[in-house]
Amino acid sequence: MFAVPDNTIAIAERPALQHPVRAALAFAADRELWRNLLRYDPDQRFAALIARDGQQEVWLMSWLPGQTTFSHDHGHATGAFTVVTGDLVERVTRRAPGGRVLTEHHELTAGQSRVFGPGYTHEVRNEGPDPAVSVHVYRDGTRTVRPSGLG
Ligand SMILES: [Fe+2]
Residue 122 CA to ligand 1 center (angstroms) comes to: 6
Residues forming the annotated binding site for Fe cation?
72, 74, 122
Ordered domains of the chain (ranges, CATH):
17-142 (2.60.120.10)
Residue 4: the pLDDT is: 73
Averaged pLDDT of the chain: 91
Residue 54: the pLDDT is: 87
* pLDDT tens digits along 52-98: 998 899 999 999 999 999 999 998 899 999 999 999 999 999 999 99
Residue 83 CA to ligand 1 center (angstroms) comes to: 13
Residue 16 CA to ligand 1 center (angstroms) comes to: 20
Residue 97 CA to ligand 1 center (angstroms) comes to: 23
Q: Is the pTM of this model over 0.85?
A: yes
**Whether the Cβ atoms of residue 25 and residue 83 lie closer than 8 Å to each other:** no
Residue 13 CA to ligand 1 center (angstroms) comes to: 27
Residue 47 CA to ligand 1 center (angstroms) comes to: 12
Residue 146 CA to ligand 1 center (angstroms) comes to: 9
pLDDT at 39 over 80: yes
Residue 151: the pLDDT is: 59
Residue 36 CA to ligand 1 center (angstroms) comes to: 23
> 47-51, 80-84, 139-143 — which is least confidently predicted?
139-143
Q: Name the nearest CA neighbour of 56 among 111, 19, 108.
A: 19
State mean pLDDT over 1-11. Answer: 71
Q: Name the nearest CA neighbour of 81 among 53, 131, 35, 120.
A: 120
Residues forming the annotated binding site?
72, 74, 122
Residue 11: the pLDDT is: 65
Q: Could you tell me how far CA 14 lies from the centroid of its own chain?
A: 20
Residue 12: the pLDDT is: 67
